[in-house]
């Protein structure tokens, strides 16, 4: 956070020097001076309260544009004696520098070899455009349209030049061969800011990992002692990290197989077990009425299709769905992943907004080896998305086990300097647009403040988590925070830079500044709003800290 404050205040400082304004103090933090150094007439200091910073210029108080400082009224180095356009630039330079910092940071990341997800397909949803075109799990995408592809994010760029209904060739590597497949972009395909989204084609980079479920105690897996949410770490000593790798390792086995299994006990501690899985040619999976893409002769399933939690009093609970149930179909359509469960429930939605409703769905599941068919009417509820934006959607009131996917294919990505600058500028713009939209939704009540706003406590927590993930994650988080700080400071609220910019724009139009009384009253209101906002955000941070 200190880095962002220093960059912000340096923007003010730099242009104040350019235009000949005397700078008396450059402070990180507010309140009493802790320590610092005086150089060139400026006191560079660290102050007691680390919740911001300021630059004190001759003729301008750091908190209010009403004069002050030690300069004479007619001093040529006084801030207020400078032309209004120079004052506008000086004030705007702080948030502008915050918006420029991410370009520099992201450029460094793109040039430095930031790990990125390779363009290897981890999931293809059944019946999706990707599935219809013939894409398979494990395909490495090397070209989309006329664009070369190395990483998953390249697919976003390549789809961004497409259009709904267009047929786009996907060139993939599969088993040492190159294939060209024709994918028809759906009519409701969303293309935003030059990006298309692979999940709209039913494609994901996440793979089902090695956490499994068991739905039949009489199956080979059940008799081996395996339980739902066990993690199979190795087969006959060979490590496996994904569901596909697990099935590949078991394929063709005719005798007993040694499994290395990790299991959480009742206290939440991990235990390592060695179990023996013995194939049984006399056992076959139950007929579930659909072609289960995960069916195998061992009675194993990916854990992300097993119910881990059922909300009490929810639609699923009232229909009789229980924790441990294995979902295999909805409305006669097979399920291959949790994403497909979400998609099938979404298909039951009718209308939108306040008129949104949901029709009944038929759920096929396996419980203790028996097949059950249940009718469930999803309930329309209002919640928030990952950005804290309010939404209404149909829900069953169920959840799968968290952490059941993995991205096993990551590679270092390096750009040339010109391409890195281009990508960094594009990403900064996209993030800025997103932040502006989010601020707008907060102001109009379309987003939840408690989910969207974070103060110093949350920022420090995020920074700490990012630091644990490594330098690249920390730098990216720094860039994203800098965008937010820059845009928020442009808000036309007195005591923020945006409020000062508004005052000077009014002065430029009127030919004279607003009266001191108006500016003082606006500053007082601005301070009250800012203090109330800081208190509210502090409460949000504490609640998040308590709830974990």
Spatial separation of the C-alpha atoms in residues 403 and 147, rounded to whole Å: 33
Find the catalytic residue in 9, 114, 123, 427. 9
Spatial separation of the C-alpha atoms in residues 26 and 28, rounded to whole Å: 7
Return the residue matching tokens 């080896």.
369
DSSP letter at 477 equals H
- Cα angle at 273 between 272 and 275, to 5 degrees? 155
Tokens of 429: 């713009």
Spatial separation of the C-alpha atoms in residues 519 and 525, rounded to whole Å: 10
CA nearest to 502, candidates 194, 102, 323, 494:
494
Strands, sheet with 177-184, edge to edge from the N-terminal-most edge strand: 147-148, 140-144, 167-174, 177-184
Spatial separation of the C-alpha atoms in residues 288 and 285, rounded to whole Å: 8
At 220, give phi and psi (nearest 5°): -55, -40
Spatial separation of the C-alpha atoms in residues 306 and 311, rounded to whole Å: 15
Tokens of 463: 């920074």
Contact assessment for residue 258 and residue 237, using Cβ atoms and an 8 Å cutoff = yes
Helix axes 497-510, 84-112, angle to 10 degrees: 140
Query: CB under 8 Å to 531, separation ≥6 — which residues?
Result: none
Q: Please confirm, yes or no, whether 72 is among the known catalytic residues.
A: no
CA nearest to 306, candidates 377, 382, 404:
404
At 270, give phi and psi (nearest 5°): -85, 135
**In sequence order, which ranges of 160-284 are alpha helices (DSSP H)?**
220-223, 243-250
CA nearest to 24, candidates 69, 82, 89:
69
- Cα angle at 351 between 396 and 192, to 5 degrees? 95
Distances (CA, A) of 417 to 111, 424, 482: 7, 10, 22
Catalytic residues: 9
């Amino acid at each position: 956070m200190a880095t962002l404050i220093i960059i912000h205040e340096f923007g003010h400082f730099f242009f104040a020097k350019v235009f000949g304004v005397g700078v008396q103090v450059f402070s990180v933090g507010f309140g009493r001076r802790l320590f610092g150094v005086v150089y060139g007439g400026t006191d560079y200091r660290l102050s007691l309260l680390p919740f911001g910073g300021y630059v004190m210029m001759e003729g301008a108080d750091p908190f209010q544009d009403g004069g002050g400082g030690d300069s004479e009224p007619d001093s040529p180095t006084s801030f207020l004696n400078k032309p209004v356009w120079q004052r506008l630039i000086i004030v705007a330079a702080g948030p502008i520098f915050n918006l420029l910092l991410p370009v520099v940071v992201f450029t460094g990341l793109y040039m430095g070899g930031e790990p990125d997800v390779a363009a290897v397909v981890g999931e293809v949803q059944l019946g999706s455009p990707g599935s219809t075109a013939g894409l398979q799990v494990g395909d490495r995408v090397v070209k989309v349209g006329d664009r070369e592809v190395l990483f998953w994010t390249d697919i976003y760029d390549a789809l961004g030049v497409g259009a709904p209904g267009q047929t786009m060739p996907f060139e993939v590597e599969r088993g040492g061969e190159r294939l060209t497949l024709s994918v028809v972009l759906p009519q409701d395909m969303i293309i935003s800011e030059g990006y298309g989204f692979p999940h709209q084609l039913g494609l994901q980079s996440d793979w089902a990992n090695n956490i499994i479920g068991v739905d039949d105690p009489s199956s080979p897996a059940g008799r081996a002692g395996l339980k739902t949410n066990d993690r199979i770490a190795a087969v006959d000593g060979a490590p496996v990290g994904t569901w596909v790798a697990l099935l590949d390792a078991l394929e063709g086995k005719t005798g007993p197989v040694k499994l290395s299994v990790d299991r959480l006990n009742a206290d939440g501690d991990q235990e390592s077990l060695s179990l023996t899985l013995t194939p049984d040619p006399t056992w076959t999976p139950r007929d579930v009425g659909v072609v289960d893409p995960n069916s195998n002769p061992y009675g194993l399933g990916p854990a992300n299709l097993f119910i881990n939690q059922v909300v009490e009093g929810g639609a699923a609970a009232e229909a009789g769905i229980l924790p441990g149930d294995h979902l295999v179909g909805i409305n006669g359509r097979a399920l291959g992943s949790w994403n497909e469960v979400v998609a099938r429930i979404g298909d039951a939605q009718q209308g939108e907004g306040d008129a949104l409703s949901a029709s009944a769905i038929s759920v096929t599941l396996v419980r203790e080896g028996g097949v059950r068919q249940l009718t469930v009417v999803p309930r329309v509820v209002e919640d928030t998305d990952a950005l804290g934006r309010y939404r209404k959607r149909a829900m069953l009131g169920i959840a799968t086990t968290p952490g059941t996917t993995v991205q096993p294919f990551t590679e270092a990505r390096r750009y040339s300097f010109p391409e890195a600058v281009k990508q960094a500028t594009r990403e900064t713009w996209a993030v800025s647009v997103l932040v502006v939209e989010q601020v707008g939704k907060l102001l109009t009540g379309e987003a939840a403040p408690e989910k969207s706003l974070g103060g110093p406590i949350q920022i420090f927590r995020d920074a700490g988590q990012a630091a644990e993930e490594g330098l690249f994650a920390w730098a990216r988080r720094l860039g994203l925070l800098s965008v937010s700080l820059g845009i928020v400071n442009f808000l036309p609220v007195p005591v923020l830079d945006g409020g000062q910019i508004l005052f000077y724009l009014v002065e430029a139009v009127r030919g004279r500044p607003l009266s001191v009384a108006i500016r003082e009253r606006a500053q007082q209101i601005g301070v009250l709003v800012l203090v109330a906002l800081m208190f509210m955000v502090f409460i949000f941070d504490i609640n998040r800290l308590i709830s974990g």
